Amino acid sequence: MQLFRTKSVEQTVAETGEEHRKLKRTLNAWDLAVMGVAVAVGAGIFSVGAQAAAYHAGPAVILSFILAAVVCGAAVMCYAEFSSMIPVAGSAYTFTYTTIGEIVAWVIGWDLILEMLMAGSVISKYWGVYLNDFMQLMGLNFNTNVYVGWFRLDIAPIIIVTFFTILLVLGTKLSARVDGALTILKIGIVVFVIVVGFFYVKASNYSPFIPSSLPAGAVKGATVTGTMTEPLWQWVTGMAPSIYGVPGIISGAALVFFAFIGFDVVATTSEEAKDPHRTVPRGIILGLSIVTVLYILVAIVTTGMVSYKDLAKADEPSLATGFELVGATWAAKIISFGIVIGLTTVVMVLLLGLTRVVFAMSRDGLLPRGLSKTGRHGTPASIQIIGGVVVAVIASCFDIGILSDMVNIGTLSAFTLVAISVPIMRRKRPDVPRSFSVPGSPWIPILVAIACFWLMLNLSVLTWIRFVVWLIIGFVIYFGYSYGHSRLGSASLEDDARAGTLSK
């Protein structure tokens, strides 16, 4: 079995011109940068820094953000190199198909579907939760939950998913404009909160900058409850969990790293970018730079307003907690509104990314080919509608908070294999033009792969169990359908048959 058969770069690029299966190139570098900011700046910007400070690193969470940004930046550069060389939909799936082989590409594509399906469902669900919270803060009796007998249906995810599904069917450029307007609004809210927060900062709260290491049980919110919630690495090695100190900075980086994930979604739109060899790398790197600055500024404000010890006493520490502790309770309304706007843009980009991965896999025959047909607006309307329905149903009908870690492990597995693929492609095809190249190859990509895999090992045992089950389901589909319907496999069989005929 040719499990590691690979597509050539030329073949991959040529297939983007297939009639009724091609996407319109309408996006520029700014559109792509805005998408990156849109998907990375959500509710997490107001909470993840406070949680990392309270339970992991103290004021040194600022170093955690810098460390995470460096690792994510190096991973993003790997995506940028591939996108400049192979500007095709599918992101990590497409990249690994041209380097490592079909079976690995299928695994990555299957992981990306998991990542974006779960992320879209989780974020849509939380959008409804925060919308209800904001309305209650404003004194309005508003609730999006509808009860049909004993069954509870949340209509908020249906509303937001339907809205963006329609926009995405009508055209990626139109969706990008709406997303861009909302993203600028939420950046304005974040900047306003940061500026106001600086007026409450006290230098004494930054001391000690790196608190002394303590057992995890010393702080209520940092306690691990049972084997299933314990990080896989600690469970395997029998290490006792600890917080603060240098280990706390590293574990804090593992937590805040997930605030940066989402830039791989931008790479899925490479086939819809104008002059993609230049605009995709520029858009990805510009977006990451903006996000890094915003997160670090929020971390500085959060840890400067109140002591990390006071944050650790809160049930769910956040930037709003800091404002409440200094008496500025009015800020909660602004932050709540910022969260609603922030999550709105995340939903759109995730729906876009999900459909582009499925589109690429469908065009290759690994999923039914009929799904990859594009309509008169140049978008894969059938995939977009099916994806929107699935996301809306999951978000509206199920309690999916426990599945959020599945987003992280799916993303990190993709990051790891893309980083490994960079030196492989350099050695395999040094002749292919690259408008952007990762500096320090092969060492930087190898270090990125190791760092991402280490972060995977710090996810919970339960997350790994679910991940393995998802992979098993994927292998069943691959060997039961995808391997036999692969266009690359069909082409190989035709070539073999032709060669056999000529030999006779």
Q: What average pLDDT does the segment 326-348 reach?
A: 83
Higher pLDDT, 212 or 387: 387
- Residue among 114, 99, 111, 105 at smallest CA distance from 445: 99
Cα separation, 239 vs 341, in Å, equals 41
Cα separation, 199 vs 76, in Å, equals 35
Phi, psi of 209 (to 5 degrees): -70, -40
What is the per-residue pLDDT for 402? Answer: 57
Question: Is pLDDT at 227 greater than 70 in this prediction?
Answer: no
- Residue among 231, 260, 259 at smallest CA distance from 247: 231
Q: What average pLDDT does the segment 229-248 reach?
A: 70
Q: What average pLDDT does the segment 242-263 reach?
A: 76
**Lowest-pLDDT range of 166-180, 287-301, 442-456, 460-474:** 166-180
Q: What average pLDDT does the segment 438-465 reach?
A: 85
Question: Is pLDDT at 233 greater than 70 in this prediction?
Answer: no
**Helices (H) then strands (E): counts for the chain:** 21, 4
CATH 1.20.1740.10 fits 9-494, yes or no: yes
Give the model confidence (pLDDT) of 348-367 as tens digits: 888 888 888 899 899 999 99
What is the per-residue pLDDT for 493? Answer: 46
Question: Is pLDDT at 182 greater than 50 in this prediction?
Answer: yes
Give the DSSP per-residue string, 83-130.
HHH---TTTHHHHHHTTT-HHHHHHHHHHHHHHHHHHHHHHHHHHHHH
Cα separation, 7 vs 29, in Å, equals 27
What is the per-residue pLDDT for 500? Answer: 44
Using an 8 Å Cβ cutoff, are 332 and 244 in contact?
Answer: no
Using an 8 Å Cβ cutoff, are 414 and 108 in contact?
Answer: yes
Share of residues in the chain with pLDDT > 70 (%): 88
Using an 8 Å Cβ cutoff, are 324 and 334 in contact?
Answer: no
Q: What is the 3-state secondary structure (H, E, C) of 25-88?
A: CCECHHHHHHHHHHHHCCHHHHCHHHHHHHHHHHHHHHHHHHHHHHHHHHHHHHHHHHHHHCCC
Cα separation, 354 vs 372, in Å, equals 13
Question: Is pLDDT at 294 greater than 50 in this prediction?
Answer: yes
What is the per-residue pLDDT for 481? Answer: 93
Q: Is 460 helix (H, G, I), strand (E, B) or coil?
A: strand
What is the per-residue pLDDT for 373? Answer: 84
Give the model confidence (pLDDT) of 4-28 as tens digits: 888 888 888 888 777 777 788 888 8
Stated as kind and residue range, the H or E segment containing 375 is: none
Stated as kind and residue range, the H or E segment containing 477 is: helix 461-477
What is the per-residue pLDDT for 457? Answer: 82
Residues 6+ apart with CB under 8 A from 29: 278, 279, 280, 282, 283, 286
**In the 8-state DSSP scheme, what is residue 25?**
-
Could you tell me the pLDDT band of residue 401, with boundaries at 50, 70 and 90?
Answer: low
Distances 414 to 79, 123, 139, 302, 474 between C-alpha atoms, Å: 10, 20, 44, 32, 15
Instruction: Indicate yes or no: pTM above 0.85.
Output: no
Question: Is pLDDT at 256 greater than 90 in this prediction?
Answer: no
Q: Which amino acid, one-letter code, is at 398?
A: F
Question: Is pLDDT at 498 greater than 60 in this prediction?
Answer: no
Question: Is pLDDT at 417 greater than 80 in this prediction?
Answer: yes
Using an 8 Å Cβ cutoff, are 105 and 97 in contact?
Answer: yes
- Residue among 302, 349, 262, 337 at smallest CA distance from 76: 262
Cα separation, 35 vs 183, in Å, equals 8
The residue behind tokens 């509870």 is 152
What is the per-residue pLDDT for 28? Answer: 85
Residues 6+ apart with CB under 8 A from 251: 56, 57, 243, 458
Cα separation, 444 vs 450, in Å, equals 10
Buried b / exposed e along 158-179 (16+ C-beta atoms within 10 A): bbbbeebbebbbebbbebbeeb
Instruction: Note the Cα 456 to chain centre separation in Å.
Output: 14
What is the per-residue pLDDT for 231? Answer: 66
Higher pLDDT, 473 or 452: 473
**Mean of the per-residue pLDDT values for the chain?**
81
**In the 8-state DSSP scheme, what is residue 374?**
-
What is the per-residue pLDDT for 277? Answer: 80
Q: What average pLDDT does the segment 95-102 reach?
A: 88
Question: Is pLDDT at 435 greater than 50 in this prediction?
Answer: yes
Question: Is pLDDT at 479 greater than 90 in this prediction?
Answer: yes
